[in-house]
Every structure is written in structure tokens, then in C-alpha cells.
């Protein structure tokens, strides 16, 4: 029977240790508090000597030695590496005593890597590839070198398209060279459109009507796949209605989300989330990837996808049954301004080979290399003439080039944008509206407030 | 390794006192490593949380300035932070309870079956344990994907047409529930294996005696097994609390960084979004300190409770 | 065990339940491996099938064809192996100290080992970064970009838990054995390494599982501390390549995850028995 009761209290020694052990513990608490107080006092005193910081600024300008460069590693990296190797070999041939060390870093890790490089100049490369929405943040962090004069003296740069040029410019100064642009347009299913006797939409209103019609006739399909977290799919709607997220005012930016025209754009985008097209329960959370995947898996009749999505479409089940047109604007015959994504090359402030790094940047972002990169990887060139030539070689990029030529836009080039992006201000606003949690006016006002706070910092 | 009673006698004795420095010698490598790479950075973390410290200070050459408790007041004045704090505590508690329940139940199950099913369950559990968190979260999300996942197709094939294209991550509680499933999936194996090991260490005679006395299974569990398992349960509970409170990857991956309009944020993810993504290191550090303090309070409170009941940690 | 005394229908029901649970638990893993072998178009298919008729190695090829993949694998093995061995030895010494000796601050230290496990690692990477950067300037081999910058922090972070777990094993070795050894004239060191260590070894194995997994699966330190020396990257970096802003490569993610999980599983199966007996020992008091 004894076995049914809880085990007897531990015999003598164990019990004693337990008690003995308890004594110092209770006594320790006040001591710990005292220690904490001391620590706080010490902190107040030590506030002057903050944790270590990096030494800013370059270290001379050597013209021999090893030049380090970081490029993004693509899933299928070999063709990119081949183009880069060719350009680098040509570069090194003319410059004896110069070695170029190219490293490919996973895109996922770029934030840590680049910040680490700013913080530890010894690990830092001389030249980096970076996403063009990061420009302002990197400049604020003091990482990128001002190359305004070098770019001004560079003949090829005058053919760079204006949106790409804006993406390397902060407060009038140039911090790099655009490497390629990425832009989105409207993918649609040719088979579905033919069966239902539809034509590619010519205005945004017609787009919405077409989307609803498809969903009515083919309930298994979303008319237009949309996503509550698909900021770059939503922005063209805002811009096409004459609105935008923010505008420059004086030295800073101020949010224009509460502007009537912007609200019209927001309304047009959020109206697409509904049981008549793309129900919020499945579409509110989607980002760009999920939207494009939904189209590629045959679950949507239309989607806003990038030129970079082309390869994924070709490998999917909709291959041969889709076409691409520019996303139409509000009025017939116009194209909705698209978001100009893409990557740039920039020289680091800490580089000890500034002149060489600028020269290498010009080689890699030059017309020849960009044309090669397009042929190898399908990355759209940033030079209008090189891009036109590319469109002649590869017809599938034509709608994207047309979109770019109609004038693409970027997000505000200000460090505050990084905070807006990180806090997911726009996705939260769209999601609040489409899930019915807040009215459009309230959500837009809330987002504008958060945005202005971020811009002020 | 089955000595149960002898170990009680092996309490540290005062008999061997020559060289009071011996334990410190043994401890030295561990203390140096922990002191240098954990305690010192922790001190720095505390320091940073009292400063204004952004990327501009780190690499831009701007001077740092002392903020006092400024970062903390900013945090606690933020309504969203308080809401996230509450969600984190509740969610972590749910994860801990679910993990413990599943782990213990399966451990008992393991003792009731023959070698083959036991091996199958053990291997499956070890597989779940071995999977990297990023992968586990991705796979679970994939399983429950409204378009591509087998769960919705299976449910609608069973005639539950409401699940056709059903999104599991849209509703706040459903999303937390899905994440909870993944967390339980990857953390129950530790509980199960540990508790199973503990169950096996209970002498069979004790249980036999109880069974011969005619006690029901439940009474045997309450009266014999549970008390003998107590030290184990303390270990797995404390570990689960520590791990589940710090959940990051699962929420980040499965709810796409915090869910619809941030409804599924937990403290660790919030810290990341609020601070690291926009490199406001001081705010991030302050959140880290708050998390540590809460964990500390919960765990030490729990241990103290046990101690009052005569347990030894 | 008491399994013998359970009536037959109940045992069969229990076994059926165990197999069912095993299937449910294993299903996500099965799905992962399946997706790794599916051709790209099938992974994206809206009508997922739990099998594939055209298994393809394309995804695995994308994983293995990555530049330096073999190197990453070896680095991961080296880092995880070193952490496992070193943390085992250091934790063994520390656990011996806190269980077989009585000294001032013993309980304080124990509580410290517990508290150390609660530190949110994510938040510590920033101070650690500066620490390693500055240390690298004076001591070669432990600064940023070296494998040492991965080994040392992982070692420090796995120690508290290892000490905590090992206490039970050390305590379980009878005191009488120790006394007998000293009576036979054995030195303290001889007792420690020749008698105590082999007896605690199964516990070390069990403990090593934890340090191995956390080190092997780590992304955080790998992407924060290995900055310019890509040749010192570890396996998770080869997985991250497949997560991309403009569309994840699901097949690649699943194949890389499979490649990452298999060594851990092998390690698990090798130490499985010792893990069970070990964890049992850890907690017997």
C-alpha cells in the first residue's frame, strides 16, 4: 500500500541540503537588487563610453591589390557568374597587379551581411550589388560612397532611364550605378480569355469587371490574383489614380495616403478582395510570391507579375497558355505607372581602392555587361537603348519594356522608408481594409500617421 | 545507470575538502566561455537598451546619447507592444501545455506497445526533432496551403466542402492554432523521449505492487508514476517554457512576419520588426531585456513554488 | 516492462494508436522528401498528389551544384563536431564541480546556468558581433569570418543546458565508487577521467544531441558572423539561397532541407538508445 502514497520525503541528508541550499537563495535577492542598482549607476556613468562603433571613412586609394566584390547569388548562378567572369577578366587584363575576388551571397542574408560590412570595414568588400529600395538606408548608415562626379564623367550613364537614375540618387547625390531593373505587368490566361470571349482589359475599371466576370463563369478561378501584402502590385493602382504614398515637402517627405486620389486608388485595389474575385480569407495575406504562384498553379485567370517571374511561368502548368500586357491605367490607352524594382552596384565608403572600384562598377554596370546579363539571366537593362535592343531579341519582354518606357516609379528614397517597410505599414493598411477591421479612411489615416512618424526620425 | 537509491547518498560531502579550489578549477573553462560570450554581451545589451543606438551610431560616426529609461517608456506606451506581450504569454503557455500533454501521453503509450510500433513512433519523433525550424515551418505551411496543400484537398474530398480553398492563417486564432501545431510537432519529441526514459527508470516492482493492490491505472499514475517523474517533469516544463517563450522562426515563417495586420506577432518577432529590420538596436535590446526579465520571473517563480513543496532544483 | 501485463485487445489498440501517431508525425517529413523529388511543375500543382510517378533529381542537382557546397557541408560538420566534443568535456567538468563538491555560490551558479538559457539569442548577436570583431584583432582564429566565430558562441550557448542536463548523470554515479577509488590510491584526475567519465558517457551522448542540433541548424550566427569569407559558410546558407524575394524555389528548399536533416537523423539513430537511457539517468534523483 505504501507505494500508492507519494514517495516519502527524502531522508536526512537530502532534506538538509535542500534547506541549506535555500538559505543563500533568499538572502541573495536583496543582494541581487543591490547589484542591479549598482549596475544602473555604473551605466549612467558609463553612458559616455558607448559600445564600440566602426571607424568611418575610406583608407586611401590604392591602385594595386585585391578588389573585393559581392554579388547576389541566384538559384541558377552559373550564367551570371560567366558574364561577370568575362567582364572581370577584361577589366583585370588592362590592370596588372590587380586581382578581383568575386563572392556570391544569398539574397536572404543580404541585410546582415551588408550591415556587418558597414560595421567591420575589414570584412567589407569594395563594391556591392544591392536592392534599389535599400539605397537611402545604406546612405543613411554611412556605407555607400558618393560617386556623383564619377558618374557625371561617364558617357554611358546618360542613357540610363530616369526611374533607374532616381533609384541611385539620394538628396541630389549619386550613390552607385543601376545594374538592372525589374518591373511588373499583367499576366493573363489566353485559353480562359478565349473560351469566355474576353479581351485584355484596357482600363483598371475594365480589369476589375473582367476579373469578376471570370470568377462568375469559372468559380474555381480567381479573376485577378491579388494579395494584401503585395505592395508592389498595389502601388500602380494608387499611382494610376493620380495618388501616391508620399511626396517631398521641404527637406523631408510627407505621407499622401489620405489624399482623395490616393484613396480612390486604394479603393480600386481593395475592391478586388471579395467573394466575387479573390476572397479576403485566402487573398488578404498573400504577398507577391503567393500571387504569382497562384497564377502559375492555374488558380487565377490574371495576375500582376514581373519580368523575373517569366521563367517560373515557363516551368509551370500554364506554359503556352498565357500572355502578358502592360497593366492598364485609369483612362483608356494609358499604362499604370509600375514600380521600378531592380538592383544597383555601389562602392563602399570604406573601400581602400576607390578609383579601381568605380572603374569596375562602370565595367559591370556598363552597356556591354548589361546586354550580356540580359541574354544570360533575362535581367532588364537600365539603358533605354540597350533595353530596346533586348526587346527586339526577346519578344516576351516587350510589355515590360513598354511599361518602363511609359514611366515607372519608385518608393520614396528616404531612410524612413526602410522603417515603413520593416513595420509593414502598407500591408497592414490593406489588410485592415480588406478584412473589414477598419474603414478605408481610418486605415489610411492610421498608416499615414505611422509613415510620417517614420519620416520624421 | 539504474542506481536510484544510491544516488541519494551521493550528496556532495564535506569529507573531501583538500583544495577548496578544485571545483573552481573544474568550472573555470565553462565560466570563462559563458562569462566572455554570454554574460559580457548581455551586459552590453543592457547598456545599449539605455542608449540611443541606431545604425547611424554604429557605422555613421554619430555620437551615442544616454536615454535613461526612454526606450522602455517608449515601449510600454506603445499599445501594440502591450497587446503583443499578452499574446506572447498566452500563446507560449498554450504551447507549453499542449507540448507537455502530447509528449507525456505518447511517452505512456510507448511503454504500452511492443518493439516495432515503439520504434516507428520513436523514429518519426526523432525525425520531427531533427528538422530545422525553418524547414518544419515551411512544410507545415505547405501542407495547409489553401491552393497547393493536401489538407484542404483531403478535407474537401471527405465531403467537407467548406474547406475547399480554406485559409488557415486568415483568422487570428486559427493562425495561432496552426503555428501551435507546428511547435508541438517539433518540440513534443524532447518531452516524449525524456518522459519515456523516466518512465522506464521506474522500477517495475513498484508498479507491479500497485497493480496487485488493485489500483486503477489512473491511481497508479497519480500515486506512483507522477511523483516519481516529478524531477523530469520539472526539467521538461522549464525547458519548454524557455523555448516556447522565445519562439521566432515559426511565427515569422508561417504567418509571413506576423499575420494579417500584425495579428499574430509575438515578442521576438515584434522585436525583430520593430528594431532590427530598421536597425534601431536600442529598442530591440530593450525588448530583449524585457523578455529575459519575464522569463526569469516565470521560471524562478515556478522553481520557488516547487521548492516550497519540498523539491530540489 | 509493464507492457506484458496489459490485456491483449488494449495492447493492440495502443499499438494501432502508436502507428497512427507515427504516421501523422512522419507525414510532414514524407511531404518534404516527396516535394524534393517531384518535378518542378508538380510541386506547383493545384491538385497535390501524395506520390509522384516521375521522380526527379533536379532539385537535388540544384542543391549539390552550388558553388562550394561540399565545403559548406564539411564546415558544418567541423563546427558541430567541435562544439559537441568541447561542450561535452567542458560541461562534464562543470557538472562534476556543481554536483560532487559543496562550495559557496554553488546554488547561485546553478541558477545562473538556468538563467543563461533564457537569454534571447537573437538580441545578443549585435554585442557578440562587436566582441568578435574586436577579439579577432588580437587573437587570430576567433574573429569574424573564421569558423572559430561560429564555434565559440555556439559552445557558450550550449554549455548552460549541457551542464544542467549532465548534473543528473554525474550525481547518479555512486559516492561509494569514488571513495573506493581514493582508498585504492587513485588521484582525483584518475578518478575523474578513468572512472567517472566512462560512466557519464551515455549522458554526454544524450546531451550532445542538443548541442549538435542547435549548431547544425543555426542560421543566425552563420549569417551574422561569416561576412566576407564565403568559404567559411555553413550548410544553412546553401538552403537560404532558395528563399528569394521574387519567388521561393520550393523543390530546392525541400531538397536542401532533406540534405540537412539526414545527417542529424543518422546521428540520432546512432545515439538513440543512449539518448533514452541517458535522459532517464539525467532525471533520476
pLDDT tens digits for A419-445? 788 778 999 999 999 999 899 999 999
- Report chain A residues whose CB lies below 8 A from the CB of C144: 116, 120, 122-123
* Cα–Cα distance for residue pair A101/A82, rounded to 1 Å: 14
Residues A89 and A111 both lie in one domain: yes
* Cα–Cα distance for residue pair C114/C159, rounded to 1 Å: 10
Q: Is C278 exposed, middle or buried (0-12, 13-18, 19+ CB in 10 A)?
A: buried
Lowest mean pLDDT among A132-136, A303-307, B188-192: A132-136
Taking only residues 122 to 141 of chain C, the set having a beta carbon closer than 8 angstroms to any beta carbon of chain B reads 122-124, 126-128, 130-131
Name the band, by pLDDT with cuts 50, 70 and 90, for residue C210: confident
Residues A264 and A368 both lie in one domain: no
What total number of domains does chain A contain? 2
Partner residue opposite C131 with nearest CB, options B26, B40, B246? B40
- Mutating which of C65, C227, C235, C253 best tests the A interface, going by the most A Cβ atoms within 10 A? C227
For residues C212 and C76, the answer to whether their CB atoms sit within 8 Å is no
Complex-level ipTM:
0.87
Touching subunits for chain A (3+ Cβ pairs under 8 A): B, C
Classify residue A137: in a domain, yes or no: yes
- Report chain A residues whose CB lies below 8 A from the CB of B261: 427-428, 431-432, 435, 437
Q: Which range of residues forms the domain containing residue A450?
A: 184-338+423-456
Name the band, by pLDDT with cuts 50, 70 and 90, for residue C87: very high
Classify residue A30: in a domain, yes or no: no
The predicted pLDDT at position B19 comes to 65
For residues A331 and A399, the answer to whether their CB atoms sit within 8 Å is no
Q: Is C254 an 8 Å CB contact of chain B?
A: yes
* Cell numbers for A241: 489614380
Lowest mean pLDDT among A37-41, C3-7, C82-86: A37-41
Asked whether the beta carbons of residue B33 and residue C159 sit closer than 8 angstroms, the reply is: yes
B162 to A348, B153, B159, B181, C46: CA distances (angstroms):
55, 11, 9, 21, 17
Q: Where are the domains of chain C?
A: 1-56, 67-283
* Cα–Cα distance for residue pair A91/A157, rounded to 1 Å: 19
Give the distance from residue B41's alpha carbon to the nearest chain C alpha carbon, in angstroms.
5
Give the distance from residue C164's alpha carbon to the nearest chain A alpha carbon, in angstroms.
17
Taking only residues 163 to 202 of chain B, the set having a beta carbon closer than 8 angstroms to any beta carbon of chain C reads 185, 193-194, 196-198, 200-201
Residue of A nearest to C219 (CA): A109
For residues C195 and C181, the answer to whether their CB atoms sit within 8 Å is yes
* Cell numbers for A280: 479576403
Question: What pairs with residue A189 in β-bridges?
Answer: A322
- Report chain C residues whose CB lies below 8 A from the CB of B13: 102, 175
Residues A160 and A303 both lie in one domain: no
Partner residue opposite A309 with nearest CB, options C129, C246, C248? C246
Classify residue A11: in a domain, yes or no: no
Name the band, by pLDDT with cuts 50, 70 and 90, for residue A32: very low
Q: Is B118 an 8 Å CB contact of chain C?
A: yes
The predicted pLDDT at position A430 comes to 96
Taking only residues 67 to 96 of chain B, the set having a beta carbon closer than 8 angstroms to any beta carbon of chain C reads none
Q: What is the DSSP letter of C4?
A: G
* Cα–Cα distance for residue pair B60/A141, rounded to 1 Å: 5
The predicted pLDDT at position A26 comes to 33
The predicted pLDDT at position A357 comes to 95
- Residue A331 sits in a domain of what CATH number? 3.40.190.10
Asked whether the beta carbons of residue B114 and residue C284 sit closer than 8 angstroms, the reply is: no
Average pLDDT over residues A70-85: 87
Give the distance from residue B233's alpha carbon to the nearest chain C alpha carbon, in angstroms.
9
Residues A332 and A386 both lie in one domain: no
Name the band, by pLDDT with cuts 50, 70 and 90, for residue A338: very high
Touching subunits for chain C (3+ Cβ pairs under 8 A): A, B
Residue with the bigger pLDDT between A355 and C134: it is A355
Residue of C nearest to A23 (CA): C107
Classify residue A13: in a domain, yes or no: no
Residue of B nearest to A418 (CA): B278
- Report chain B residues whose CB lies below 8 A from the CB of A5: 223
pTM to 2 decimals?
0.80
Asked whether the beta carbons of residue B130 and residue C239 sit closer than 8 angstroms, the reply is: no
Classify residue A214: in a domain, yes or no: yes
* Residues A97, A103, A107: CA angle, nearest 5 degrees: 150
For residues A159 and A177, the answer to whether their CB atoms sit within 8 Å is no
SS (H, E, C) A304-344: EEEHHHHHHHHCCCCCCCEEEECCECCCCCCECCCECEEEE
Residues A100 and A176 both lie in one domain: yes
Asked whether the beta carbons of residue A53 and residue B59 sit closer than 8 angstroms, the reply is: yes
pLDDT tens digits for B84-140? 999 999 999 999 999 999 999 999 899 889 889 999 999 999 999 988 888 898 889
Lowest mean pLDDT among A44-48, A380-384, B184-188, C121-125: A44-48
The predicted pLDDT at position B197 comes to 85
Lowest mean pLDDT among A23-37, A133-147, A171-185, C167-181: A23-37
Give the distance from residue A103's alpha carbon to the nearest chain C alpha carbon, in angstroms.
7
Residue of C nearest to B195 (CA): C280
| Helix ranges (DSSP H) in chain B | 6-9, 22-34, 40-48, 55-58, 70-77, 79-111, 115-130, 133-143, 150-157, 172-200, 204-212, 217-220, 226-245, 249-254, 267-271, 281-308
For the beta carbon of residue B218, count every other beta carbon within 10 angstroms.
8
The predicted pLDDT at position A384 comes to 93
pLDDT tens digits for A379-419? 999 999 999 999 999 999 999 999 999 989 988 888 888 77
Residue with the bigger pLDDT between A160 and C104: it is A160
Asked whether the beta carbons of residue B58 and residue A47 sit closer than 8 angstroms, the reply is: no
Residue of A nearest to B45 (CA): A51
Q: What percent of chain A has pLDDT over 90?
A: 60
Contacts A–C by Cβ distance under 8 A? 104
Q: Is pLDDT above 70 for C3?
A: no
Name the band, by pLDDT with cuts 50, 70 and 90, for residue C5: low
Rounded to 5 degrees, what are φ and ψ at A169? -110, 125
* Cell numbers for B110: 510507448
Q: Is B37 an 8 Å CB contact of chain C?
A: yes
The predicted pLDDT at position C51 comes to 78
Classify residue A383: in a domain, yes or no: yes
Rounded to 5 degrees, what are φ and ψ at A358? -65, -40
Asked whether the beta carbons of residue A125 and residue C228 sit closer than 8 angstroms, the reply is: yes
Asked whether the beta carbons of residue A297 and residue C46 sit closer than 8 angstroms, the reply is: yes
Asked whether the beta carbons of residue A56 and residue B227 sit closer than 8 angstroms, the reply is: no
Contacts A–B by Cβ distance under 8 A? 153
* Cα–Cα distance for residue pair C178/B42, rounded to 1 Å: 38
Q: What percent of chain C has pLDDT over 70?
A: 92
- Report chain A residues whose CB lies below 8 A from the CB of C252: 75
- Report chain B residues whose CB lies below 8 A from the CB of A170: none
Partner residue opposite A75 with nearest CB, options C107, C111, C242? C242
Residue of A nearest to C61 (CA): A76
Residue with the bigger pLDDT between B141 and A28: it is B141
Half-sphere exposure of C78 (CA within 13 A, CB side): 14
Fold of C67-283: MetI-like fold (1.10.3720)
Residue of C nearest to A289 (CA): C247
Q: Where do the domains of chain B lie, and which CATH numbers do they carry?
A: 48-77+280-313 (no CATH), 82-141+169-278 (1.10.3720.10)
* Cell numbers for A195: 473560351
Q: Is B305 an 8 Å CB contact of chain C?
A: no
Q: How far is CA A343 from the centre of its chain?
A: 9
Partner residue opposite C223 with nearest CB, options A113, A131, A306? A113
Q: Is pLDDT above 60 for B250?
A: yes
- Report chain A residues whose CB lies below 8 A from the CB of B251: none
Average pLDDT over residues A42-68: 58
Residue of A nearest to C104 (CA): A24
- Mutating which of A108, A113, A184 best tests the C interface, going by the most C Cβ atoms within 10 A? A108
Partner residue opposite A51 with nearest CB, options C127, C230, C246? C127
The predicted pLDDT at position A5 comes to 32
Secondary element (H or E) of residue A84:
helix A78-93
Residues A126 and A267 both lie in one domain: no
Residue with the bigger pLDDT between B145 and A430: it is A430
Touching subunits for chain B (3+ Cβ pairs under 8 A): A, C
For the beta carbon of residue A362, count every other beta carbon within 10 angstroms.
21
Classify residue A279: in a domain, yes or no: yes
The predicted pLDDT at position A17 comes to 33
Mean pLDDT of chain C: 84
Classify residue A227: in a domain, yes or no: yes
pLDDT tens digits for A280-337? 988 888 888 888 888 988 889 999 999 988 887 887 888 999 999 999 999 999 999 9
Residue indicated by cell numbers 566512462:
C198
Asked whether the beta carbons of residue B55 and residue A141 sit closer than 8 angstroms, the reply is: yes
Amino acid at each position: 500500500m505504501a507505494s500508492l502514497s507519494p514517495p516519502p520525503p527524502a531522508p536526512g541528508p537530502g532534506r538538509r541540503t535542500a534547506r541549506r541550499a535555500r538559505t543563500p537563495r533568499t538572502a541573495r535577492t536583496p543582494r541581487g537588487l543591490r547589484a542591479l542598482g549598482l549596475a544602473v549607476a555604473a551605466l549612467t556613468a558609463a553612458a559616455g563610453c558607448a559600445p564600440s562603433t566602426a571607424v568611418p571613412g575610406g583608407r586611401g586609394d590604392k591602385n594595386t591589390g585585391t578588389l573585393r566584390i559581392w554579388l547576389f547569388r541566384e538559384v541558377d548562378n552559373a550564367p551570371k557568374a560567366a558574364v561577370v567572369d568575362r567582364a572581370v577578366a577584361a577589366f583585370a587584363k588592362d590592370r596588372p597587379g590587380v586581382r578581383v575576388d568575386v563572392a556570391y551571397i544569398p539574397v536572404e542574408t543580404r541585410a546582415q551581411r551588408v550591415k556587418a560590412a558597414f560595421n567591420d570595414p575589414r570584412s567589407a568588400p569594395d563594391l556591392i550589388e544591392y536592392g534599389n529600395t535599400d539605397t537611402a538606408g545604406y546612405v543613411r548608415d554611412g556605407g555607400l560612397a558618393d560617386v556623383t562626379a564619377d558618374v557625371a564623367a561617364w558617357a554611358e550613364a546618360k542613357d540610363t532611364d530616369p526611374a533607374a537614375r532616381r533609384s541611385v540618387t539620394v538628396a541630389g547625390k549619386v550613390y552607385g550605378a543601376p545594374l538592372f531593373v525589374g518591373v511588373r505587368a499583367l499576366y493573363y490566361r489566353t485559353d480562359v480569355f478565349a473560351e469566355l470571349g474576353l479581351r485584355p482589359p484596357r482600363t483598371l475599371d475594365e480589369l476589375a469587371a473582367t476579373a469578376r466576370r471570370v470568377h462568375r463563369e469559372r468559380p474555381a478561378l480567381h479573376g485577378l490574383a491579388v494579395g494584401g501584402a503585395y505592395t508592389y502590385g498595389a502601388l500602380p493602382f494608387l499611382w494610376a489614380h493620380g495618388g501616391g504614398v508620399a511626396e517631398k515637402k521641404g527637406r523631408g517627405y510627407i505621407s499622401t495616403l489620405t489624399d482623395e486620389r490616393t484613396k480612390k486608388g486604394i479603393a480600386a485595389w481593395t475592391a478586388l478582395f471579395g467573394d466575387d474575385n479573390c476572397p479576403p480569407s485566402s487573398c488578404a495575406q498573400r504577398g507577391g510570391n503567393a500571387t504569382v504562384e497562384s497564377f502559375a498553379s492555374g488558380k487565377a485567370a490574371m495576375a500582376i507579375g514581373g519580368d523575373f517571374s517569366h521563367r517560373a511561368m515557363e516551368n509551370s502548368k500554364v506554359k503556352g497558355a498565357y500572355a502578358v500586357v502592360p497593366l492598364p491605367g485609369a483612362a483608356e490607352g494609358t499604362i499604370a505607372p509600375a514600380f521600378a524594382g531592380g538592383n544597383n552596384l555601389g562602392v563602399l565608403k570604406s573601400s581602400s581602392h576607390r578609383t579601381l572600384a568605380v572603374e569596375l562598377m562602370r565595367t559591370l554596370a556598363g552597356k556591354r555587361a548589361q546586354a550580356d546579363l540580359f541574354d544570360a539571366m533575362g535581367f532588364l537593362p537600365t539603358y533605354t537603348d540597350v533595353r530596346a535592343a533586348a526587346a527586339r531579341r526577346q519578344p516576351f519582354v516587350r510589355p515590360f519594356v513598354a511599361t518602363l518606357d511609359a514611366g515607372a516609379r519608385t518608393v520614396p528614397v528616404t531612410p524612413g522608408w526602410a522603417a515603413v517597410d520593416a513595420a509593414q505599414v502598407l500591408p497592414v493598411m490593406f489588410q485592415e481594409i480588406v478584412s473589414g477591421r477598419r474603414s478605408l479612411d481610418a486605415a489610411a489615416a492610421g498608416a499615414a500617421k505611422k509613415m510620417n512618424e517614420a519620416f520624421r526620425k | 545507470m539504474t542506481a536510484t537509491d544510491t544516488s541519494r547518498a551521493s550528496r556532495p560531502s564535506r569529507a573531501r575538502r583538500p583544495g577548496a579550489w578544485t571545483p573552481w578549477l573544474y568550472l573555470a573553462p565553462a565560466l570563462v566561455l559563458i562569462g566572455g560570450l554570454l554574460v559580457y554581451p548581455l551586459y552590453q545589451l543592457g547598456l545599449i537598451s539605455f542608449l540611443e543606438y541606431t545604425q547611424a551610431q554604429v557605422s555613421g560616426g554619430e555620437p551615442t546619447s544616454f536615454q535613461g529609461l526612454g526606450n522602455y517608456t517608449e515601449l510600454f506606451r506603445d499599445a501594440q507592444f502591450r497587446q503583443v506581450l499578452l499574446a506572447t504569454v498566452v500563446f507560449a503557455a498554450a504551447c507549453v501545455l499542449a507540448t507537455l500533454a502530447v509528449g507525456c501521453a505518447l511517452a505512456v503509450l510507448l511503454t504500452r506497445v511492443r518493439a516495432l510500433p515503439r520504434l516507428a513512433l520513436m523514429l518519426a519523433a526523432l525525425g520531427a526533432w531533427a528538422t530545422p525550424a525553418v524547414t518544419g515551418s515551411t512544410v507545415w505551411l505547405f501542407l495547409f496551403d489553401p491552393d497547393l496543400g493536401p489538407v484542404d484537398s483531403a478535407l474537401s474530398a471527405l465531403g467537407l466542402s467548406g474547406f475547399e480553398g480554406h485559409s488557415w492563417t486568415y483568422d487570428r486564432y486559427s493562425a495561432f492554432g496552426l503555428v501551435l501545431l507546428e511547435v508541438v510537432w517539433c518540440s513534443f519529441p524532447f518531452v516524449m523521449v525524456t518522459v519515456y526514459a523516466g518512465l522506464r527508470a521506474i522500477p517495475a516492482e513498484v508498479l507491479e505492487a500497485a497493480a496487485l493492490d488493485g489500483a486503477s491505472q489512473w491511481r497508479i499514475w497519480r500515486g506512483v508514476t507522477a511523483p516519481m517523474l516529478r524531477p523530469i517533469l520539472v526539467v521538461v516544463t522549464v525547458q519548454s517554457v524557455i523555448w516556447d517563450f522565445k519562439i521566432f522562426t515559426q511565427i515569422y515563417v508561417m504567418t509571413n512576419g506576423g499575420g494579417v495586420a500584425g495579428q499574430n506577432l509575438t515578442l521576438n518577432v515584434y522585436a525583430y520588426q520593430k528594431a532590427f529590420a530598421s536597425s534601431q538596436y536600442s529598442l530591440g535590446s530593450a525588448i530583449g531585456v524585457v523578455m529575459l526579465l519575464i522569463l526569469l520571473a516565470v521560471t524562478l517563480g515556478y522553481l520557488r513554488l516547487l521548492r516550497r513543496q519540498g523539491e530540489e532544483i | 516492462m509493464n507492457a506484458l501485463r496489459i490485456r491483449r485487445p488494449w495492447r493492440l489498440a495502443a499499438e494501432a494508436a502508436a502507428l497512427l501517431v507515427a504516421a501523422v508525425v512522419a507525414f510532414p517529413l514524407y511531404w518534404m522528401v516527396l516535394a524534393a523529388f517531384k518535378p518542378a511543375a508538380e510541386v506547383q500543382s493545384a491538385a497535390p498528389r501524395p506520390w509522384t510517378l516521375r521522380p526527379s533529381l533536379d532539385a537535388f542537382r540544384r542543391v549539390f551544384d552550388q558553388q562550394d557546397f561540399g565545403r559548406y557541408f564539411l564546415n558544418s560538420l567541423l563546427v558541430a563536431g567541435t562544439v559537441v566534443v568541447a561542450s561535452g568535456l567542458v560541461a562534464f567538468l562543470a557538472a562534476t564541480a556543481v554536483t560532487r563538491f559543496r562550495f559557496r555560490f554553488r546554488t547561485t551558479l546553478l541558477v545562473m546556468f538556468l538563467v543563461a538559457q533564457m537569454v534571447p539569442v537573437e538580441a545578443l548577436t549585435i554585442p557578440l558581433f562587436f566582441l568578435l570583431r574586436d577579439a579577432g584583432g588580437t587573437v587570430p582564429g576567433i574573429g569574424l569570418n573564421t569558423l572559430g566565430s561560429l564555434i565559440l558562441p555556439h559552445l557558450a550557448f550550449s554549455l548552460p543546458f549541457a551542464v544542467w542536463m549532465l548534473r543528473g548523470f554525474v550525481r547518479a554515479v555512486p559516492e561509494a565508487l569514488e571513495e573506493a577509488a581514493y582508498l585504492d590510491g587513485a588521484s582525483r584526475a584518475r578518478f575523474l577521467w578513468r572512472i567517472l567519465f566512462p560512466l557519464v558517457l551515455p549522458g554526454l551522448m544524450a546531451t550532445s544531441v542538443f548541442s549538435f542540433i542547435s549548431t547544425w541548424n543555426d542560421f543566425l550566427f552563420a549569417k551574422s558572423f561569416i561576412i566576407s569569407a564565403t568559404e567559411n559558410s555553413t550548410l544553412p546558407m546553401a538552403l537560404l539561397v532558395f528563399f528569394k524575394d521574387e519567388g521561393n524555389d520550393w523543390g530546392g528548399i525541400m531538397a536542401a532541407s532533406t540534405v540537412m536533416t539526414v545527417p542529424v537523423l543518422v546521428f540520432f539513430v546512432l545515439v538513440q538508445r543512449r539518448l533514452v537511457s541517458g535522459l532517464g539517468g539525467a532525471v533520476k534523483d
